[in-house]
Amino acid sequence: MSAEEHIVKILAAEFVTHNVRRFTLEKPVGYRFEPGQATEISINKPDWKNERRPFTFTSLNEWEHLEFTIKIYSDRQGVTNELGKLQPDDELILHDVWGTIHYEGPGTFIAGGAGVTPFIAILRQLYNTGKLGNNQLIFSNRTEKDIILKEEFTAMLGDRFINTLTQEKTTQYDNHKIDAAYLQEVVKDFNQYFYICGPDAMVDELEQTLIGLGVPKEKVVREQF
């Protein structure tokens, strides 16, 4: 693997939910990536520059800046806690572009919490190029306040943006774990691509559930490292 490394300044940082922060960064000249890809990021400070963590690009390649949408774990003394403290003009270090989920064709995206981040750029790209079609997003969160980019996903997808909450009951959203019964309720066609991202245990379970519902294994798309 090449030792690609770019030091970039933070241009803006804002919270988009109570614990998810959007970072707008400088974009190095000639820097390229595909929607769904990621890079490792470290903080350009002596105690943190060797602490690399993977994050997915949520910007599009043609934008003049880079964007990352990152869940901040302020209860842990780790990288994301430190990212939650950074301000404009602080610096990050970007490493190689790699992975992770590639768009193969129309289908259903299923995300748990911050696992939605690889889908943000993919869906934005499809929307901007008029190719969103009948793709849908099923998004599982604990509570309504955890829903990332609720307004943007609604604007792009309309009623094909399906939310289910596991720890809160509301009249607006479903209150159901994403299991076989729920998928049979909200998915009409199982002969399509299914893109899944979230906690490892959730992704493993969903892959087996989808295969059990007749989805060909090659049509279940998950992160590739």
Q: How confident is the model at residue 225 (pLDDT cuts 50, 70, 90)?
A: low
For residue 68 the two structure tokens come to 């990352």
**Any idea which residue has 């390229």 for tokens?**
32
Give the list of residues 6+ apart from residue 32 with CB closer than 8 angstroms, or none. Answer: 61, 97
Domains 6-98 and 107-221 agree in fold: no
Q: Any idea which of 21-25, 94-98, 161-165, 193-197 has the lowest mean pLDDT?
A: 94-98
For residue 120 the two structure tokens come to 């943000």
Beta bridge partner(s), residue 45: none
Distance CA 126, CA 67 (A): 17
8 Å CB contact between 126 and 104: no
Q: pLDDT tens digits for 27-56? A: 999 999 999 999 999 999 999 999 999 999
Task: For 107-221, give the CATH class.
Answer: alpha beta
| Domain coordinates in residue numbering, the chain | 6-98, 107-221
**Any idea which residue has 């929607």 for tokens?**
35
Nearest CA to 180 among 142, 206, 216?
A: 206
- Tell me the pTM: 0.94
CATH superfamily of 6-98: Translation factors (2.40.30.10)
Distance CA 120, CA 109 (A): 11
